Structure 1
Amino acid sequence: MEAGWRAVACTHLEAPIPHYREGAVRLQTGTGFFRQDSRPARDLSVLLATHQVSEANRPLRWLDLMAGCGIRGLRWGLEALPETRPELELWSNDADPDRSALLALNLEPLHELRDLSLTTTSWAAERLLRQAYLDQTFFDLIDLDAFGCPNALLQSALAVLRFGGLLILASTDGRSPTGHDRPAAVRRFGAAARAHPASWELALRLQLAALAREAWQLGRGLEPVACFSEGRTFRLAVRLRQRVAADEESQLGLLARCQRCGDQAVQSLLKLSGWGGCLCTDGLGRWAVTGPLWIGPLQKPDLLADLLQIADARPVSLSSAGRRLLERLQTDCGLPVCCWSTAELASRLSLDGPPRLEALVQSLVKAGHRACSSAVMTGQLRTDAPLTVLLQQCVEPSPGDL
């Protein structure tokens, strides 16, 4: 281990702390910030780690950059590694030195695992990443569970991520990418952010765009694996590619919406031209443009299917809420980009209630359009159908209603 890295010894805790059980682990959460309802995101990280182990033919190195009580690292070690495990070097870091004793105590069971090397540190995240780069220490999996916007750490994290490695990213910055703090969106994302019915999805796409730009500056490519939110935290899992894929730059674009008639349009930056007219016939409509943002896929359904198969063999690693999340994400790759709120469509048509989403999807598909329910926000439809067609389908009776 390079000079400068230090292991934190377990010291006496001042008072007993109640234990918490999750997956295959039992630990103390301490008095710091911890959310039990974030388990589906932790389940995903465990399954991604398990999938990476199943494909590995060399030693692996994982980093829990903002470890808190250490629950992710502990679950990785106890749940993701099979009996015939590859050698694993697990790094667990939290910048708060007051958490060091609790972190070391919770991770103590990992010392009993053969072929697992554990390093615990209490460094600022930026310092650890930069030192790792100087030491040429690269990671196969990095979990960056940030408070606020994580963009200041993106390039440093990607610079120490191995080719094919996974970055699991969380952001609690909800105001700027959802259009509620537009100056902050310009500062943090270099983008315009507008209020939109599919605000959670646009926040994820703005974050993906920020990640893609940082990866491209390093000459690397980016592949989204899973992107989701419950409205409070925005979570993404992406894979770093050694090279930029063919036409990958076309996945950066702009999304426009007329606040008056609700019409939407999307353009790639590579083919950017003037915006056509919206549905406002009196010429008073105006496009509100969001971006640059990611206009490519949000999920990798085949990989999510693999994760569900892994969970079938190891049910302890996936909660019922986590399963519902993965099954939902698997049904929606994130394309087409335009999403429509069924409640808004009903309001524009003065209907008594929103149209049945499943029936509307079937009608649009039968009419030759791409359509599916959004996996990011409930009550939303993803389709490439023009708004005129969409409105017409809302008022026509579905086959099940005849």
Structure 2
Amino acid sequence: MSHYREGAVCLQTGSGFFRKDSRPSRDLSVLLAAHQASEAQRPLRWLDLMAGCGIRGLRWGLEACPESRPDLELWLNDADPDRSSLLESNLQRLQGVRGVSLTTTNWAAERLLRQAYLDQIFFDLIDLDAFGCPNALLQSALAVLRFDGLLVLASTDGRSPTGHDRRAAVRHFGAAARAHPASWELALRLQLAVLAREAWQLGRGLEPVASFSEGRTFRLVVRLRQRLAADEESQLGLLARCERCGDQAVQPLLKLSGWRSCRCTDGQGRWAVTGPLWLGPLQMPAVLAQLLKLADPQLDTLSVAGRLLLQRLQRDCGLPVCCWSTAELASRLSLAGPPPLEELVQALLSAGHQACPSAVMTGQLRTDAPMAELLQQCVQHVAGDR
């Protein structure tokens, strides 16, 4: 088996599923752990629920825990017993790390979470890197997550939340999912809505820390709060889009009423509604800025791609909700090409609107400007660019 180097570790990946391209998400997980270790005043317990070759847990132990706090429990679990020897071999480097205790198991994820709850074992950080849709595990995971703890969640279920399998969206998310130019973002918001409802059923609140995707895997980091924030339920709602004219509208469930008319002047437009989905922020820029400062160049904690990801997410908190593809806007106007994104954003800001480039999908901006003004600005900036 070949060896693979990442951050401060060198290990064998084995014959199981492993993606080198997922390093930015692992970098984020390590920095989140390091940030938690730097602030917590209590012993910490971190769980990699689907550990695979053990790379996340190994990096947590070698890169995220300062020597000043020798009170860390690392739990690494993988349901495949055939990977146990590889996992134990890779984790040998942690045996000599002072104050770090290690627990490895080969249980089904649901069994481990339920047994932890029965034993009243709670975790400060849970990394749940699932194949397919992880929703069946969410309540069990949140039930053993400490207050202010972090859940790092991955899902490879792309078809249902992006509107390509609407029946599966109803089954998995209890929601309607429609095709949309900002499909990756809507998939993340649908997943956040499920997380929020699961947390609320436990009487807890939820804060998104980071949300991103490359189109194949949808990744979220959320913080569990002891109580709901004021008016947190208003973050759940519906997003409507008219395929014919491209107009968009948003309504919170708490204030749900009739939809306004779209921009179709002949009255033939029809809203396609997605949701319930999360209408709140997607990122916590202040936390992401702190993570960038924590990156240790000597340990190679943050790759170039990981740094670019954090910098991009830091510039877009995820509000306003409505995202617009500049290529689609140009196509609707029969323009030669899309308007320069940064120029369009600046023009909308100067006009008194909220606007920024989307951090979730390239070539898109989010704004609260009415579509009529957005189209007018597109025409002006394409004409001015010639």
What does the per-residue CA deviation read over 1:268-325, in whole Å, with 9 as the maximum and x for residues that have no partner? 0011110000000001000000000000000000000000011156661000000000
Match of 2:203 among 215, 219, 230: 219
| Aligned twin of 1:342 | 326
Aligned partners of 1:61, 1:309: CA distance in 2, in Å?
23
Match of 1:308, as an amino acid? L
Q: What is the CA–CA distance in structure 2 between the aligned matches of 1:94 and 1:353, rounded to whole Å?
A: 49
Q: Which residue of 2 aligns with 1:113?
A: 97
1:62, CA displacement in angstroms? 0.3
Residue 314 of structure 2 is matched in structure 1 by: 330
Q: State the alpha-carbon separation in 2 of the partners of residues 312 and 348 from structure 1.
A: 47
Q: Distance in 2 between matches of 1:80 and 1:185?
A: 37
Query: Aligned residue for 1:308?
Result: 292
Looking at structure 2, the residues matched to 235 and 318 of structure 1 have their Cα atoms a distance apart, in angstroms, of 17
Q: Distance in 1 between matches of 2:45 and 2:144?
A: 11
Q: Name structure 2 gaps, 5 residues minimum.
A: none
**2:144 paired with 1:160:** yes
1:268 aligns with 2:252: yes
Q: Deviations over 1:48-90 (max 9, x none)?
A: 0000000011110000000000000000000001121240000
State the distance in 1 between where 2:37 and 2:278 align. 29
Q: Secondary structure at the match of 1:397?
A: helix
Matched, 1:47 2:31: yes
Question: Does residue 149 in structure 1 map to residue 133 in structure 2?
Answer: yes
Tell me what 2:360 maps to.
376
What TM-score comes out, normalization by structure 2 length? Answer: 0.99
Matched letter for residue 259 of structure 1: E
Q: Which amino acid aligns with 1:332?
A: D
Distance 1:314 1:255 in 2: 45
What is the aligned partner in structure 2 of residue 254 from structure 1?
238
Q: 1:319 aligns with which of 292, 303, 321?
A: 303
SS at match of 1:196: coil
User: What corresponds to 2:370 in structure 1?
Assistant: 386
Local SS of the residue matching 1:50: helix
C-alpha displacement at 1:20, in angstroms?
Answer: 0.2
**Aligned partners of 1:291, 1:269: CA distance in 2, in Å?**
10
**Matching of residue 395 in structure 1 with residue 379 in structure 2:** yes
Q: Say what the alpha-carbon RMSD is for the aligned residues.
A: 1.2
Find the counterpart in structure 1 of residue 185 from structure 2: 201
Of 274, 289, 298, the residue aligned with 2:273 is 289
CA distance in 1, matches of 2:382, 2:290: 35
Identity %: 82
Q: One-letter code of the match for 1:249? A: E
1:234 corresponding residue in structure 2: 218
2:310 maps to amino acid? L
Q: TM-score, normalised by structure 1?
A: 0.95
Question: Is structure 2 residue 13 aligned with structure 1 residue 29?
Answer: yes
Question: Once the 2 structures are TM-superposed, how far is the Cα of residue 396 of structure 1 from its aligned partner?
Answer: 1.0
Letter in 2 for 1:219: G
Runs (4+) off by over 6 Å: none
Deviation string for 1:110-134 (max 9, x for gaps)? Answer: 1111111100000000000000000
Q: Structure 1 unaligned runs (5+)?
A: 1-16
Corresponding residue to 1:60 among 44, 58, 61: 44
Counting matched residue pairs gives 386
Cα distance 1:314–1:215, how it changes in 2: closer, same or farther (>3 A)? farther
Which residue identity lines up with residue 92 of structure 2 in the other structure?
E
| Letter of the structure 1 residue corresponding to residue 14 of structure 2 | G
